[in-house]
Structure 1
Amino acid sequence: MTPPPRALLLDLGNVLVFHDNGLLFRGLGARAGLPPAEAERRLSGTSWTAANRGLLGAEGIRRDVCGALGVELPAEEFDALWSSHFTLHEAVLPRVEGLVGRVKLVLVSNTNVLHAAFLRPKLPVLERFDSLVLSCEVGLVKPEPAIYQEALARVGCAPREAAFFDDLPEFVQAANALGIRGHLFTTADAFDAQLKALGL
């Protein structure tokens, strides 16, 4: 029988928080006088990956997005709009809090400096995680093997000693390819069942 994992690597978006990208495009589009679909189209060409790699700071993201939308928004207004599409996943957070001290917890997220700054104070449980591997801070993004290896190194675990949860199949597959026990995150109830199956 496989022992329970020593470490859990958890995604942020659509695991600990929900992000409604449609709401984001509606909000930004309305401010720029554009239909949501046009806002989405224009932003699909902006530097999402550069922001996630930490190559764009807060001001760089604002300039990039505003330039693509053809609108000038002051930083305070832009920052609020840019993070307006997040809601906490209230059903899953108590389960994660219950894992503190029982297993090493690592956040592994593709995110940018503005979203990280917005969400950290709203998720006090993150202060009790063993490590936060944020793409914008480490310069690596999922599904690159190096970001998973960084997470394992921080908690001193071999791949087989860790389990990983993400809502995107390609990121789960990348973890599995390294020997980590990857699981597709769907709902809080399914997560509960998956943890029980892992012996947690």
Structure 2
Amino acid sequence: MSPPPRAIILDLGNVLVFHDNALLFRRLGTRAGLPPPEAERRLAGAGWTAANRGLVGGEGIRRDVCGALGVDLPAEEFNALWSSHFTVHEAVLPRVEGLVGRVKLVLLSNTNVLHMEWLRPRLPVLERFDHLVLSCEVGFVKPEPAIYQEALEHAGCEPHEAAFFDDIPEFVQAANALGIRGHLFTTAQAFDAQLKALGL
């Protein structure tokens, strides 16, 4: 049996917070006078990756999204809409708090500057992490190996000494390919069982 991991690396979306993209497209579409499928079609593509890589800042995201939707929203209204699809996953927060001081805690997320600006004050548990590896700050995105290496460096451990939790199978598989103990995150209850199986 393997020893307990020295580090836990957690995803953000659908782990610490839920994100309902269908709701986001519906709300943006309504504001632009477009049906949700059309709003989604217009917003699909490389723009998301550019924002997640940090190639586009907050104002650039607003311009790109508004341009795609054919509407010009003031920054305050746009920023509120752009993050209106998040809900804090309250059930998982005590589990994360319970890991503080027992392992290195690292967040590993594909995200953009506006979403992080909105989430930080609403998710104080982020202050309990040893480090946040955010794609928009490091320039890499999951499933690229470089972003996992970044997380391991901040965790100060070897791949096999870290356990990684994400809701997207492709990202879990990428972690496993590097020797990290990857696990698919589903529910807070399942997370309990996974941590117990890891010896935590």
TM-score, normalized by length of structure 2? 0.99
Aligned position for 1:59: 59
One-letter code aligned to 2:74: P
Whether the 8 Å contact between 1:57 and 1:113 is mirrored in structure 2 is yes
1: CA distance, partners of 2:121 / 2:74: 23
Q: Which runs of 5+ in 2 are unaligned?
A: none
Residue 132 of structure 2 corresponds to residue 132 of structure 1: yes
In the TM superposition, what whole-angstrom CA distance separates every residue of 1:130-166 from its partner, at most 9, and x where no partner exists?
A: 1000000000100000000000011210000000000
- Take 1:31 and 1:46, find their aligned partners in 2: how far apart are those partners? 22
The amino acid across from 2:166 in the alignment is: D
Question: Take 1:93 and 1:144, find their aligned partners in 2: how far apart are those partners?
Answer: 27
Distance 2:109 2:174 in 1: 14
Cα shift at 1:121: 1.0
Q: Which residue of 1 aligns with 2:84?
A: 84
- Distance in 2 (CA, whole Å) between partners of 1:136 and 1:10 is 16
Aligned residue number for residue 6 of structure 2: 6
Q: Shift in Å at residue 45 of structure 1?
A: 3.1
What secondary structure, in the 3-state scheme, does the structure 1 residue paired with 2:87 have?
strand
Tell me which residue corresponds to 2:43. Answer: 43
Paired residue for 1:26?
26
Moved over 2 A (4+): none
Letter in 2 for 1:4: P
Give percent identity, aligned residues only.
86
Q: Which amino acid aligns with 1:84?
A: S
- The count of residues paired between Structure 1 and Structure 2 equals 200
1:116 aligns with 2:116: yes
| TM-score (norm: length of structure 1) | 0.99
Does the 8 Å CA contact 1:104/1:155 hold for their aligned counterparts?
yes
- Structure 1 residue ranges without an equivalent (≥5): none
Q: Which amino acid aligns with 1:53?
A: R
Measure how far apart 1:27 and its partner are.
Answer: 0.5
User: CA offsets per residue over residues 88-108 of structure 1, 9 Å max, x none?
Assistant: 001111110111111110000
Question: Given that residues 46 and 65 in structure 1 are in contact (C-alpha distance below 8 angstroms), is that contact kept between their aligned partners in structure 2?
Answer: no
